Amino acid sequence: MVDKVKLARQFIEAIPHSRALNMQLTDIGAGTATIEMPYDDRLIGDPKTGVIHGGAVSAMMDTCCGAAVMSHPSAPGGTATIDLRIDYMRAATPGQSIRTTATCYHITRNVAFVRATATDDDMDRPVATASGSFTVEKA
Amino acid sequence: MARTRPEPMQVVKQRRDAALKALVEGVPYIRFLGIEFDRRGDELTGLLKFDDKLIGNPFLPAIHGGVTAAFLETTSIITLSWAYLWPDIESGAIDTEKLAAGDLPRLPKTIDFTVDYLRSGLPRDAYARATVCRAGRRYASVRVEAWQDNRDKLFAQANGHFLMPPTDASRSG
């Protein structure tokens, strides 16, 4: 179990795009993962307000959901996204880190189902939520 | 009925290209991913040039699913904004110099976005084209497809809903 957690963290940190976005895996458990992404001027989607682009939030959601699947005790190995839906509740406050927590709430031999929520410093009002299905790759 | 003489082609092209350039280059995240747009008349094609920083799975290697989502979402927003701005670009009501100076119009906001990953994104250039299925005053629905080597073999497709920027008419009541 400990090895799998370590493996997931190494895997996430070896992903070039996750590194490019400065994503940090701050917590990983049995089917849950938390990733933090600091505010960065390069990721701005609306130059007038400085709000981060939805695409950067999508990248974070996708990575975090994948990490949650890999950390699940029943997942033998890697995973790939089948589909991912993201709902944007509000703009993330410029200057603040975004934190995403994903939960793999059900897993079968072939498919893992995941939900995720992203927030900034105001933890009570989500920035975005996601739900998706992922493949379960044989080890 | 007297027909007005059409504008010279160069003038029309220059105005269209300047508007598109301002729209795309004004967004830092689009520059970060290296997304460009190819224009044929009013039709746009998004172009994602492959780069090592876009990799999501270093063992295959494959493009990161988040990059694919971001590419599809960006293509959707730019295509939707383009369709929305097109009448003003054609009439000359839009001041392209002000646009280039950073005075961008308000862009549509994503309400939700659903991506289907059909096959893994290979480490090479990708293309995307979006279709505005419905453009209302407040809400719009957009479909977008992305492919790499073969137009018929999509590697991802998506559907999204967007909140349109308020117009002057709707603001005044």
**Domain count of the fold of chain A:** 1
pLDDT digits (tens, 9 = 90+) for B134-149: 999 999 999 999 999 9
Q: Would you call A62 and B69 a contact, using CB atoms and an 8 Å cutoff?
A: yes
Determine the pLDDT at residue A4.
61
Q: Where do runs of H (alpha helix) occur along B5-160?
A: 9-25, 28-33, 65-91, 96-100
Domain spanning B9-171: CATH superfamily: Hotdog Thioesterase (3.10.129.10)
Q: Can you give the pLDDT at residue B109?
A: 93
What proportion of chain A, given as a percentage, has pLDDT over 70? 96
Give residue B160's pLDDT band: very low, low, confident or very high (50, 70, 90): very high
CA B65/CA B75 separation, integer angstroms: 15
Q: Using an 8 Å Cβ cutoff, are A61 and A130 in contact? A: yes
Closest chain A C-alpha to B157 CA, distance in angstroms: 10
**From the CB of residue A6, how many other CB atoms can be counted at a distance below 10 Å?**
11
Higher pLDDT, A9 or A58: A58
Residue B169 has pLDDT above 60, yes or no: no
Distance between CA B153 and CA B22 in Å, rounded? 31
Residues of A within 8 A of B53 (CB-CB) are 16-17, 19-20
Chain B contact set for A14 (CB, 8 A): 58
* Tokens standing for residue B155: 């590697």
Confidence of residue B173 (pLDDT cuts 50, 70, 90): very low
- Looking at every residue in chain A, the average pLDDT score rounds to 92
Which one, of B74, B84, B62, lies nearest residue B148 by Cα? B62
In the block, tokens 């044989």 appear at A138
- Which spans in chain A are helix H? 2-14, 16-20, 54-71
Q: Which residues contact A12 (CB under 8 A, 6 or more apart)?
A: A18, A23, A25, A35, A63, A67
Rounded to an integer, what distance in angstroms lies between the CA atom of residue A54 and that of residue A85? 12
pLDDT of amino acid B95: 82
Is there a contact between B111 and A87 if contact means CB atoms under 8 Å apart?
yes
Q: What are B171's two structure tokens? A: 């603001």
Asked if the Cβ–Cβ distance from B65 to A42 is below 8 Å, we say no
Measure Cα distances from B87 to A72, B142, B154 in Å: 52, 19, 31
Q: A89 CB near a chain B CB, below 8 Å?
A: no
H/E stretch holding A43 = none
pLDDT reading at A115 higher than 80: yes
In this prediction, residue B172 carries a pLDDT of 47
Which of A82, A86, A91 is nearest residue B113 as measured by Cβ atoms?
A86
- Domain hosting residue A9, numbered range: 2-135
B94-128 confidence digits (pLDDT tens): 887 888 787 778 889 999 999 999 999 999 999 99
CATH at A84: 3.10.129.10
Rounded CA-CA distance B117/B155 in Å is 6
The percent of residues above 70 in pLDDT, for chain B, comes to 96
**pLDDT tens for each residue of A78-113:** 899 999 999 999 999 999 999 999 999 999 999 999
Residue predicted with more confidence, B92 or B149: B149
Pairing of strands A24-28, A32-37: antiparallel
Residue type, B166: P
Distance (Å, rounded) from C-alpha B70 to C-alpha B127?
Answer: 13
Q: Quick check: A7 contacting B, CB < 8 Å?
A: no
- The string of pLDDT tens digits covering residues B33-88 is 999 999 999 999 999 999 999 998 888 889 999 999 999 999 999 999 999 999 99
Q: At what angle do helices A2-14 and A54-71 cross, to 10 degrees?
A: 150
Task: Return d(Cα A113, Cα A106) in angstroms, integer.
Answer: 5
- 8 Å CB contact of A54 and B113: yes
Question: Which of A10, A18, A41, A53 to substitute to test the interface with B, most B CBs within 10 Å?
Answer: A53
